[in-house]
Structure 1
Amino acid sequence: MTEVPEDVVDEAERLTRLARRVGDDEEAAAYRERRDDLLAEHDFEVRVREEDDSDTLVCYPEEWLEDGTVRVERIEDTDRAAERSLSRGGEAEEWETVEEHNRAIVESVRETYGESEAANARAFADFMGNHYSRRMETATRAELREFRAEYYPRNVWPTDEQEAALERSLRAVFEIAGERYPA
């Protein structure tokens, strides 16, 4: 029985997250196509199971399908499927690893942009690390909106200069991490 390697599932998750946060439909379709092709190399299919409170990426053997529908009688071992939450905690990393990574991004923001931007990046690092246990650059559009609308005004107590630099600060985080800004 073919198994899908863990690094392939990691890449499928990354491509799915990218497709979900880009603003361009064609670019999103390209990410999904790359993901599908990658999994097809291992004879696996993918779908996103959407529920009220969470979305889950599901990778499963294509032999389970008949005419595009999973046939329960074809499933011998459910452990062959791989699932990843797309709603919370997208990286299976320990908090310390996430914090170390985010701290390095904050320091790069400080060196490149200055103190106000670094203070905002630090606040964003705290938000992503403590609420989602994830690296800052994995934030979705919805998580950025939550940070701006809820976390920032209630928890940061920014100076006027810091508040004026918020959008620039968030864009700097993604730029330094080498990821596209999802807004």
Structure 2
Amino acid sequence: MPDPELPEEVLQEAERLTRLARDAIDPDERATYLSARDELVEPHDFVARLRDEDETLVLHPAEWVDDDGTVRPSQIDDVDRGIERPLSGTGEEHEWSAVEEHNAAVVEAVADEHGEVHAANARAFADFLGNHYVRKIETAGAPEVREFVEEYYPRNAWPTTEQQSLLSESLELIFDAVGAEVPEYR
């Protein structure tokens, strides 16, 4: 099997930036994320866009696309070169056990660095993302964080008063542990 044209790290970062752009409230912030994504895939001769109707990141080889962004079917040599990544739900590459293993490592890192109260909040967030979305922590966007804070956490996490009072800080520490920013969910 030939090497993929886009390395997995590039695909994951393009996916993350697209989620951040999708969830951004400020148009300038959205434009910044989209620009960073485009600069990321451009050296690999790819063009990225979000297919809104099903929230899917679509990446096409640049030679398939006109200057106005229109895909030219006559230029498509091998449809398998195109890449689609759903931004909501899961894909085969995100099976539950791999996601749980990743998120559990994040919870452990939070516990080691910041103690059990933050670890309990991290575990609740990891459980929510893994069981409801089968997603790694760093892929959570504003809608998922908002749902966790407003609906899941008060009903399902059974937090102590101390855990509740530290939830915002815990979210900062959780996202910091994966090298990402907390999406603006308020």
Regarding TM over 0.5, the answer is: yes
Unaligned runs of 5+ in 1: none
Task: Output the amino acid matched with 2:183.
Answer: P
1:159 is displaced (CA, Å) by: 2.0
**1:97: which partner in 2?**
98
Query: How far apart are the structure 2 equivalents of 1:80 and 1:91?
Result: 18
Partner of 2:63: 63
Give the distance between the partners of 2:13 and 2:116, measured in 1 at CA: 34
| Per-residue deviation, 1:157 | 1.9
The residue number in structure 2 matching 1:181 is: 182
- How far has the Cα of 1:70 moved from its partner? 1.8
Say what the alpha-carbon RMSD is for the aligned residues: 2.5
Q: Could you tell me how far apart the structure 2 residues matched to 1:106 and 1:33 are?
A: 32
Q: Structure 2 CA distance, aligned partners of 1:91 and 1:167?
A: 32
Distance 1:113 1:38 in 2: 33
- Following superposition, the deviation at residue 72 of structure 1 comes to 2.9
- Secondary structure at 2:93's aligned position in 1? coil
Instruction: Give 3-state SS (helix, strand or coil) of 2:60's partner.
Output: strand
The residue aligned with 2:126 is 125
Is 1:49 matched up with 2:51? yes
- Report the counterpart of residue 72 of structure 1 in structure 2: 73
Q: Deviation per CA, 1:76-134, whole angstroms, max 9, x where unpaired? A: 43222110011223792432232222222222323333332221111111011112222
**Counterpart-to-counterpart distance in 1, 2:117 and 2:11:** 38
TM-score when normalising by structure 2: 0.81
User: For residues 175 and 40 of structure 2, what CA distance do their matches in structure 1 show?
Assistant: 25
Quote the offset at 1:57 in angstroms.
0.7
Please name the residue that 2:157 is paired with: 156
Query: How far apart, CA to CA, are the structure 2 residues paired with 1:165 and 1:90?
Result: 33
SS at match of 1:5: coil
Find the aligned partners of 2:102 and 2:156 in 1 and give their Cα distance. Answer: 22
Q: Percent identity?
A: 54
SS in 2 for 1:66: coil
Change (3 A) 1:73 1:128: same
Aligned to 1:57, the other structure's residue is in SS state strand
- Measured after TM superposition, the shift of residue 155 of structure 1 is 1.3
Report what 2:39 is aligned to: 37
2:75 and 2:106 map into 1 onto residues whose CA distance is 47
Aligned counterparts of 2:182 and 2:56: Cα–Cα separation in 1: 22
Q: d(CA) in 1 for partners of 2:66 and 2:95?
A: 39
Tell me how far apart the structure 2 counterparts of residues 73 and 182 of structure 1 sit (CA, whole Å): 40
CA distance in 1, matches of 2:27, 2:71: 27
